[in-house]
Amino acid sequence: MQTLLTQILDEVRPLIGQGKVADYIPALADVPANQLGIAVYGNDGSLYSAGDAQTPFSVQSISKVFSLVQAIGHSGEAIWERLGHEPSGQPFNSLVQLEFERGRPRNPFINAGALVICDINQSRFAAPALSMRDFVRRLSGNPQVLVDGKVAESEYQHRSRNAAMAYLMQSFGNFHNEVELVLRSYFSHCALQMNCVDLAKAFCFLANEGFCKHSGEQILSPRQSKQVNSIMATSGLYDEAGNFAYRVGLPGKSGVGGGIIAVVPGQFTVCVWSPELNAAGNSLAGMKALELLSERINWSVF
C-alpha cells in the first residue's frame, strides 16, 4: 500500500498547475498550490500516507459531514423534516432552488442544507464551535486540532451569499436562530485545520458501521452510518457527485480547501489533499489520485 500511494502521487503530480486555488475566500488564496498528500486508514488501525499528508489545511465543506453526524446524534430522523437527502444538480451555493422549493434545502451538503444543520445544532449546543472542535478532536485522536481564526473571519467578512440563504430560509420559517450567530458557527466549522491523517482517522467510523475504534465510541448506529454514506455518495461532491461515482465509486466529501475524503465501507477511509480545484470546486489532482487508487485496488462499491 505504501509503495502504491507514492506511485499514485508521482503519477498525478503533473496535474498541479492545471487547477486553481480557491480565491473567493481571500485567506485560502494564499495557500501554496504545489502541495499533494494522501492517507489511508484501515479498520484494523493500519495507517499509510505519502506526500504532504501531515500538512494541515482548511477542511471547509468536509466539516458538513461532522455537523450532520452531530445533528443525527441528538435529533435523529427529525432533522429530515427541515431538509432533504436528494442531489441538487446545482452549484453548492445556489439560491435558485432554495427559492423555488420554499426554503427547504435539497440535502445537508449544499451550503443551504449545511446552514440548516448548523441552525439545528445551534439550538442544541451552548457553544457550537467548541462542541464541534472537541468532537473532531475525539474522532481524529488529535487533541491539537484547531480552528484557523483568520480563515473563519475571512469567510465571515464575505458572508453575503450564505447570509442571503439563511435569511431566505428564515422567511419560509425554516431557520430558528439568529442568522449571524449561526454563520459564525458555520464558518468556524469550515475553518478547522486538519491534515490527511487526521481526516482519514476522523472518518473511520463511517467505514466501520458507526464505530470509531481509536476513541472507543459508537458514533452512529450501523443504519445511520449507511445513510450518511449514501448521502455522501449522491451529494458529497457538489454537482460533480455523479462524475465522482463514475470515476471513483465510493462515498466521498470534498471541500474547497482541496481535501477529499472517501469511504471504503468495511475496510478503509482515505483522505487526499491538493489545493488546486477544478471547475466544479473539487481538488483536481485529488480526484485523479482517488480514481487511480480505487481502480488499482478495485474498491468501487458499484
- Domain ranges for the chain: 2-296
Task: Quote the CA–CA distance of 302 and 94 in Å, as a whole number.
Answer: 30
> For residue 238, is pLDDT > 90?
no
Q: Pairing mode, if any, of strands 47-51 and 37-42?
A: antiparallel
Task: Quote the CA–CA distance of 64 and 67 in Å, as a whole number.
Answer: 5
Task: Quote the CA–CA distance of 284 and 35 in Å, as a whole number.
Answer: 12
Task: Give the contacts of 209 (CB within 8 A, at least 6 positions apart).
Answer: 222, 225
Rounded to two decimals, what is the model's pTM?
Answer: 0.96
> How much is the pLDDT for 214?
86
Q: Pairing mode, if any, of strands 20-21 and 276-277?
A: antiparallel
Angle between helices 63-75 and 128-140 in degrees, nearest 10: 100
Position 145 confidence tier, pLDDT thresholds 50, 70, 90 = very high
> For residue 23, is pLDDT > 90?
no
Task: Give the contacts of 102 (CB within 8 A, at least 6 positions apart).
Answer: 172
What is the share, in percent, of the chain residues with pLDDT greater than 70?
Answer: 100
Task: Quote the CA–CA distance of 8 and 159 in Å, as a whole number.
Answer: 37
Query: 193 — phi, psi (to 5°)?
Result: -105, 115
The vertex-116 CA angle with 110 and 119, nearest 5°, equals: 140
Position 51 confidence tier, pLDDT thresholds 50, 70, 90 = very high
Task: Quote the CA–CA distance of 293 and 297 in Å, as a whole number.
Answer: 6
> How much is the pLDDT for 92?
78
Across 235-242, average pLDDT: 90
> For residue 89, is pLDDT > 80?
no
- Nearest CA to 130 out of 109, 151, 115, 147 is that of 147
- Nearest CA to 69 out of 203, 248, 207, 208 is that of 203
CATH top class, domain 2-296: alpha beta
Query: 277 — phi, psi (to 5°)?
Result: -105, 155
Task: Quote the CA–CA distance of 253 and 61 in Å, as a whole number.
Answer: 8
DSSP state of 300: -
> How much is the pLDDT for 111?
95
Per-residue pLDDT of 155-185, as tens digits, reads 999 999 999 999 999 999 999 999 999 999 9
For residue 236, what is its C-alpha cell? Answer: 458529497
Per-residue pLDDT of 102-114, as tens digits, reads 999 999 999 999 9
